[in-house]
Amino acid sequence: MSTTSLLASLPVPDRAARLRDALLAADFTADGLLERLGAAAYAALARSETVPALRATRGDGPLDTLVRLFLLQRPVPRDRARAALPLEEALADGWVAEEGEEIRATVDVRPYGGPEGEDWFIVSDLGCAVGGAGGASGHDEGVVLGVGGASTTLAGITVRTPVGSALDLGTGSGIQALHAAQHATRVTATDLNPRALGFTRLTLALSGAPEADLRTGSLFEPVGSESYDLIVSNPPFVISPLAVGDPGARLTYRDGGMGGDDLCRTLVQQAGDRLKDGGYAHFLANWQHVEGEDWQERLRSWVPLGCDAWIVQREVQDITQYTELWLRDAGDHRAGREAYEARYEAWLDEFEARKTKAVGFGWITLRKSGAERPSIVIEEWPHPVEQPLGEAVRAHFARQDYLRSRDDAALLADHFVLAPEVVQEQVGLPGAEDPEHVVLRQHRGMRRATKVDAVGAGFAGVCDGSLSAGRILDAIAQLLGEDPVLLRDRTPEAIRLLVEEGFLEPAAT
């Protein structure tokens, strides 16, 4: 099927503003859905369970009709559809279609709440809004999914400072482009799948956002040598044998067409040349844990020259868990035992050939610093965090700049304050006179915790910006009966760690 005919099968966005007005008038919004469905039915939708929502929308009001039509994809009577939306326009523009005396949706339209309370709408293929495609198939160029956990994770970790230009690489249904349009003067969105660009156009139009520059192609090919202040990508990162010649490789949204983790590596390595000075690039990625190789060193080799990096591994799965996850995502578990086991064997054969023992998942953020001594922080952090993290990511790189510019003498001359929402916990046996150890814990952002000794606890406790670090250490040395010179010599490393992890902040900032 040609690109022209594929895009012709999608709705026309020209009169999306009229449809948007109707959706808002019916309170077809994220908040409106929660109120109408109730918490249990609303949460069930995120698990792709529709029965509770069907039971909650047995009325005949406009909101009930729109939920059944666009979220649950059930046909509704013509008169109810006419009462809920501009029916003739929606039919003519292709948002809905006639089915006898009933009206059915041609696309999934899902309310999505923006970071500042905006009422947005994400448009995707029917049956592909949440929880993966679930084995959905249809168009040769691949289905287009709506918003899932990966999409919202990437949106949450992205730095949201005003920028001149942003690139959403592998845009899918357009959620990252929609976010970027709120703080970027110019947004470019690319995708190998031309239907994805059509859905991005619909998402932006129905959400009342400016149009983006939409380009078809793989990786950075559509943008050539152009550079950007912000690059975001939720790429097809799945490491599967489907990407290396299997004729069943049809899930464009997840299978990247390169072996192993080469697609993610290539994307990260090539991003450095497309970033403007001071610009950020944010990626979700999978990477191999290879026998005899340190996974952190593997990722360190991906970081392009001139860039600082912060790479966070959020989860690790052994190859059997990973295989089962993505076979179920594709619906292969419903293809019969013989076919399922053959596909399972193919995945394990591929991992064995590459000496892959596990697969990691996480976030990769680059910042074009041009520093002679780039900061590359690679860590494992499977613990809960507080989204959105964009400001925490920006602050992380600001702290790297600060620490790079300070030797130990300068560090001790500076003033610090304890970061907001940091508390101190004393751990020990009940009734003991002194704690076994003291823990500093963050209640925001990454929600880190770190164990400190008596000097570290005392130092953090009095950091209110009024005294320099050196003077605080001198006072602590006097209290503990220690040599102040020795304490000044051995403490800067601990201070650097507390600053790097966000427990302490330079008072000037």
Instruction: Name 279's Cβ contacts closer than 8 Å, sequence gap at least 6.
Output: 163, 227, 228, 229, 230, 231, 367, 368
Mean pLDDT, the chain, rounded, equals 92
Q: For 3-19, what is the mean pLDDT? A: 80
pLDDT digits (tens, 9 = 90+) for 331-361: 777 888 999 999 999 999 999 999 999 999 9
pLDDT digits (tens, 9 = 90+) for 204-245: 999 999 999 999 999 999 999 999 999 999 999 999 886 545
Computed on alpha carbons and rounded to an integer, the radius of gyration of the chain in Å comes to 26
Q: Residue 129: its pLDDT value, please?
A: 60
Q: For 457-461, what is the mean pLDDT? A: 95
Q: Residue 424: its pLDDT value, please?
A: 93
C-alpha–C-alpha distance, residues 425 and 293, integer Å? 37
Q: Residue 136: its pLDDT value, please?
A: 47
For the chain, give the percent of residues with pLDDT over 70. Answer: 94
Residue 284 forms beta bridges with which residues?
363
Q: Worst-scoring range by mean pLDDT, 236-240, 310-314, 380-384, 481-485?
A: 236-240
C-alpha–C-alpha distance, residues 220 and 283, integer Å? 14
Reduced to 3 states (helix: H, G, I; strand: E, B; else coil), residue 25 is helix
- To which H or E segment does residue 496 belong? helix 492-500
Closest CA to 503 of 424, 428, 386, 436: 424
Q: Residue 199: its pLDDT value, please?
A: 98
Q: Residue 335: its pLDDT value, please?
A: 82
Q: Residue 500 pLDDT more than 70?
A: yes
Q: Residue 142 pLDDT more than 80?
A: no
Q: Worst-scoring range by mean pLDDT, 8-17, 100-109, 310-319?
A: 8-17
Q: Residue 256: its pLDDT value, please?
A: 75
pLDDT digits (tens, 9 = 90+) for 145-179: 999 899 999 999 999 999 999 999 999 999 999 99
Residue 427 forms beta bridges with which residues?
437
Instruction: Name 269's Cβ contacts closer than 8 Å, sequence gap at least 6.
Output: 302, 304
Q: How far is CA 295 from CA 8, 241, 261, 326, 373, in A?
A: 45, 21, 12, 22, 22
Q: Residue 378: its pLDDT value, please?
A: 98
CA 435 to chain centre: 39
C-alpha–C-alpha distance, residues 168 and 154, integer Å? 11
Q: Residue 90: its pLDDT value, please?
A: 98
C-alpha–C-alpha distance, residues 120 and 100, integer Å? 31
Task: Choose between 243 and 448: higher pLDDT.
Answer: 448
Q: Residue 140 pLDDT more than 50?
A: no
Q: pLDDT band for position 490 (50/70/90)? A: very high
CA 443 to chain centre: 21
Q: Residue 3 pLDDT more than 70?
A: no
Q: For 318-339, what is the mean pLDDT? A: 89
- Asked if 417 contacts 350 with a C-beta cutoff of 8 angstroms, the reply is no
